[in-house]
Amino acid sequence: MTKIRAAITGIHAWVPEYILTNDELAKMVETSDEWITTRTGIRERHILKEKGKGTSDMGAEAVKGLLKKTNTHPDEIDLLICATVTPDMQFPATANIIADKVGIKNAFHFDINAACSGQIYALTTAAKFIESGGYKKVIMVGADKMSSITDYTDRSTCVIFGDAGAAILLEPTTEDVGIIDSIHQSDGAGRLHLHQKAGGSVKPASHETIDAREHFIYQEGQAVFKFAVSKMADVSVEMMKKHHLESEDLAWLVPHQANLRIIEATARRMGIDKSQVMINIERYGNTTSATIPLCLWEWEKQLKKGDNIILAAFGGGFTWGSIYLKWAYDGSNHH
C-alpha cells in the first residue's frame, strides 16, 4: 500500500495592527533600543489592544484567510487543533471557539499546550490524523496573545513577546512531499525556569496572587537560553543525520523565533548559512505558538515543491523538537 503523508497545502497568518517599538518600551521600563536589539534581535512586535479580543480572534482571522485562499468550505474540515498558552479562557478549548467563529461544523477540535513547541507538536499530531487515512482536511492553528500574560513592568520579559495567529492546512498525499519525520522531547524539570505561577489549580486567582503579579510569565532567561541553544541545535542536527541531509540539501531552517542569538547558534551547529534560515523576529518578537507558521507564511512565495525544510522549536516545559518536511507546492503559484 502506498504510504499516505500529510502535506501542507496552505498557510495564512494574521497579526494585530498596533506596533509596539523598542523606543516605546524604553518609556515604560528601564531599557533601550540598543540593548533589546543586540541581546534579542527584536525591533518591534504587534500587540492586540482591542478590549474583549483574545487569542481566538487572531486564530479565527488566520483560519478565515486560509479557507479563502485555499478555496476550502468550512464544512470540509475534519479536525482543528490549536496550539496556545494563552487560551481565551481556561475552558473550553480555544480551538472550539475558533471553529465556531469561522463556521466549522463537521469537525472536532482541541488545544495543545506545549508552550513554544506547541506549534510543532500540533503539526505532528495533525499529520498523524491525516496519515491514519481517516482525515482529509485538518487545520493546525498556532496563536498567542502573549501581551495578556506579559508583565509590562518586568524589563527582562516584556521586550520579548508579541501577539499573532497563524493557520496551516494539511491534506493527504501519496507523492514524495509532506511531513516526513518528527523528533519531539520534553523535560518537566524545566518548568522551574519558565512558567506562570498563578491561575491554575495549584494557585487559583486570589487578591494575593494578583498583588504579587503572579499571573504573568516568569522566566529565568539565562537558564532557558542555555537549554534552548543546545536542545534546538541537537535535535536539528539529529534530524539531519537521521535523513542523511547535508547543509546544501536543506532549502530552509525554520526556527522558533525566541532570540536571534539562539537562532544563529542553531544554524551554526547545523552548518548552514544564515541565508537558509527564516528570520523575522525583528518585526514580531516571540509570538510563542505562531512563530514558525508566521515565517512560512511570509516566505510562502519563495517556497518550491520538493524543498527540504527543517522546523525546530524550544519552549516552556521544557519542550523541544524538530520536523523534517518536503514542501508540497510552488508558493509563487499560490494565491
Cβ atoms of 16 and 144 within 8 Å: the answer is no
Q: What is the dihedral of CA 190, 155, 117, 297, to 10 degrees?
A: -170
Decide: is 43 part of the binding site for ligand UT7 (CB under 6 A): no
Phi and psi for 274 in degrees, rounded to 5?
-60, -25
Judged by CB, which is closer to ligand UT7: 114, or 328?
Answer: 114
Among residues 54, 142, 315, 317, the one that binds ligand UT7 under rule CB under 6 A: 315
Judged by CB, which is closer to ligand UT7: 138, or 292?
Answer: 292
Binding mask 136-165 vs ligand UT7 (x if CB under 6 A, - otherwise)?
Answer: -------------------xx--xx-----
Stretch that binds ligand UT7, among 28-36, 64-72, 94-102, 197-205 (CB under 6 A): 28-36
Task: Compute the least distance from the CB of residue 326 to ligand UT7, in Å.
Answer: 27
E strand spans, the chain: 5-14, 19-21, 44-46, 79-83, 108-112, 138-145, 163-173, 178-186, 194-196, 217-219, 252-255, 308-315, 319-326
Q: Where are the alpha helices (DSSP H) in 103-154?
A: 118-131
Residue of 161, 158, 128 whose CA lies nearest to 256? 161
Judged by CB, which is closer to ligand UT7: 86, or 173?
Answer: 86
Catalytic residue among 116, 193, 259, 295: 116
Decide: is 222 part of the binding site for ligand UT7 (CB under 6 A): yes
Residue nearest to ligand UT7 (CB): 221
3-state SS assignment for residue 133: coil
Residue of 20, 18, 27 whose CA lies nearest to 153? 27
Binding region for ligand UT7 (CB under 6 A): 31, 35-36, 39-40, 116, 155-156, 159-160, 221-222, 224-225, 228, 258-259, 262, 286, 315-316
